[in-house]
């Protein structure tokens, strides 16, 4: 940006820089994985003994369901070899943003907390909410065709800053929308607010959500043992 002054003054150049970088990880899962995921999650939805997880979640689901995903069989393998590896990569990449964190998170322990299936139909939505743990994620398994580039924000995933939009005080872009696409997995900090707007029309919007807990064990992680970390989670 060039700042022009009066003729008898010196012209200067100014550069706009953006503060507070926040990493968002997007993984494109292969089609063969998504085909298997759709088969496995359909089995879960049709299981007579499925565990309703709605009471533990923020979603306003009127036509669909929110079901706990048991960590068995293919889902167990996918969690251990797919999700946890991606979360490890997220932590390693994000900690380079802070010099102290590099050594603090030089080594760390990680625990998969829980996963649940979100089956949504027209009118279903998720208000702004956060998750427990350190990292959270979403995998899109089925997306109806009417949720597309021209439907924003209907059916889209929205990430929220910790302040509301206010043009009068120059608070812009306090939200960012992401178009759900089959096979996309997003990983982000569990404290980051996010929501899903309702959509219209036929079809199912199916996703898998999960929480992962982690705590640092590196050289600079003094005082951050598992007991202390678990107590922080309870607050």
Report the C-alpha gap between 156 and 182 in whole angstroms. Answer: 13
What local confidence, expressed as pLDDT, does residue 22 receive? 84
Burial of 63 (0-12, 13-18, 19+ CB in 10 A): exposed
Report whether pLDDT(219) > 90: no
Looking at the predicted structure, is the pLDDT value of residue 130 above 80?
Answer: yes
131-142 pLDDT tens trace: 999 999 999 999
Extract the tokens encoding 59. Answer: 């979603």
25: number of Cβ within 10 Å: 16
pLDDT of residue 230: 61
- Residue 172, number of CB atoms within 10 A of its CB: 9
pLDDT of 226 reads: 58
> Above 90 in pLDDT, residue 13?
no
Q: Quote the tokens at residue 189.
A: 């900090």
User: pLDDT tens digits for 70-114?
Assistant: 999 999 999 999 999 999 999 999 888 887 788 889 899 999 999
Which homologous superfamily does the CATH classification assign to the domain defined by 19-234? q2cbj1_9rhob like domain (2.60.120.620)
Average pLDDT estimate for 143-169? 91
Res. 4 pLDDT band, cuts 50 70 90: low
In the chain, where the domains are located: 19-234
Prior bond to 153 cis, omega within 30? yes
Burial of 188 (0-12, 13-18, 19+ CB in 10 A): buried
């Amino acid at each position: 940006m060039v700042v022009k002054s009066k003729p008898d003054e010196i012209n200067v150049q100014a550069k706009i820089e953006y503060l507070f970088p926040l990493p968002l990880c997007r993984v494109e899962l292969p089609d063969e994985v998504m085909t298997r995921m759709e088969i496995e999650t359909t089995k879960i939805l049709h299981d007579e003994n499925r565990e309703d997880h709605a009471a533990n979640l923020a979603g306003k689901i009127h036509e669909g369901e929110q079901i706990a995903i048991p960590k068995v069989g293919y889902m167990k393998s996918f969690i251990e070899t797919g999700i946890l590896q991606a979360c490890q990569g997220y932590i390693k990449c994000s900690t380079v943003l802070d010099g102290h964190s590099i050594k603090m998170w030089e080594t760390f322990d990680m625990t998969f907390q829980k996963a649940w299936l979100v089956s949504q139909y027209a009118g279903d939505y998720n208000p702004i909410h956060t998750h427990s743990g350190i990292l959270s994620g979403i995998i899109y398994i089925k997306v109806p065709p009417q949720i597309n580039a021209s439907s924003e924000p209907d059916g889209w995933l929205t990430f929220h800053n910790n302040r509301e939009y206010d043009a009068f005080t120059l608070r812009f872009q306090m939200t960012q929308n992401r178009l759900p696409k089959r096979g996309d997995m997003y990983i982000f900090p569990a404290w980051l607010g996010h929501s899903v707007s309702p959509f219209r029309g036929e079809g199912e919007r199916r996703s898998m959500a999960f929480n992962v807990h982690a705590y640092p064990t590196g050289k600079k992680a003094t005082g951050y043992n598992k007991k202390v970390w678990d107590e922080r989670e309870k607050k």
